Amino acid sequence: MPMFITLEGPDGSGKTQQIQLLSEFLESRGSKVYFSREPGGTEIGDQIRDILMDLKNTSMRPRTETLLFCASRAQIVEEVIKPKLAEGYIVILDRYADSTLAYQGYGHGNDLQTIRQLLNFATDGLKPDLTILLDLAPEVGLTRRKQGGGEWNRLDDYKLALHKRVREGYLEMAAQEPERWRILSADQPIAVVQSNLQKIILDYLE
Ligand code: TYD
């Protein structure tokens, strides 16, 4: 049965590793699974990702950034997600449209309604069947970062405020659409998060 699953959450919440384990689990149960990440996931999307990540692009404006995330997404929707769903795959994406609402909207303060319209255009209205938020308190993530060494600086403080808004945004979106969203604490051992994740998917499939 085709299904479109997205994982959302802060940087370092372990989404990538959890998706790999989850896809192995679903494949072992006989499903065809395709997973990818955003931004990127296509040749064109990876080029857009390079522009977005390039440290020398310090002058990038918030609207430019928002449109580039949307452009990468438009490409993966048409080139990968729609065809794979049509072939009966379970498609799992590491971040999708909700990341743009969380980061560019709630995080950086761009108008949410405008972003929703842009996302609707970029995705051609394609919504995930299920979205799982790997929820983690920003303080926990940043404590891990502190323990990893290095000097604490002004940008880290900025990041804490930003990540707090991003998290609140995620929780608000989850509350607005409870039938699509599930919230899972990422502040647990990898194996525990994975078994909870598997349970969520199996419950949904039943
Ligand atoms: P990435 O290196 O893929 O990290 P992660 O493992 O956290 O996903 O970085 C993606 C970064 O881009 C992450 O900080 C979130 C941000 N982002 C947005 O701001 N808007 C978006 O629409 C997407 C997809 C990502």
- State pLDDT tens for residues 133-186: 999 998 887 776 667 656 666 656 668 899 999 999 999 999 999 999 999 999
Tell whether pTM > 0.75: yes
Pocket test for ligand 1, best of 67, 92, 99 (most atoms within 8 A of CB): 99
Residue 105, C-beta contacts closer than 8 angstroms, at least 6 positions apart: 111, 112, 115, 169
Instruction: Read off the pLDDT of each residue in 70-85 and give the average, rounded to a whole number.
Output: 98
Contact at 8 Å (CB) between 47 and 75? no
Mean pLDDT score of the chain: 93
For 3-205, which CATH superfamily applies?
Answer: P-loop containing nucleotide triphosphate hydrolases (3.40.50.300)
From atom 12 of ligand 1, which residue's Cα is the shortest distance away?
A: 39
- State pLDDT tens for residues 25-66: 999 999 999 999 999 999 999 999 999 998 889 899 989 999
Instruction: Enumerate residues lining ligand 1, CB below 6 A.
Output: 11, 15-16, 37-39, 69, 94-95, 99-100, 103-104
- State pLDDT tens for residues 1-24: 899 999 999 888 899 999 999 999
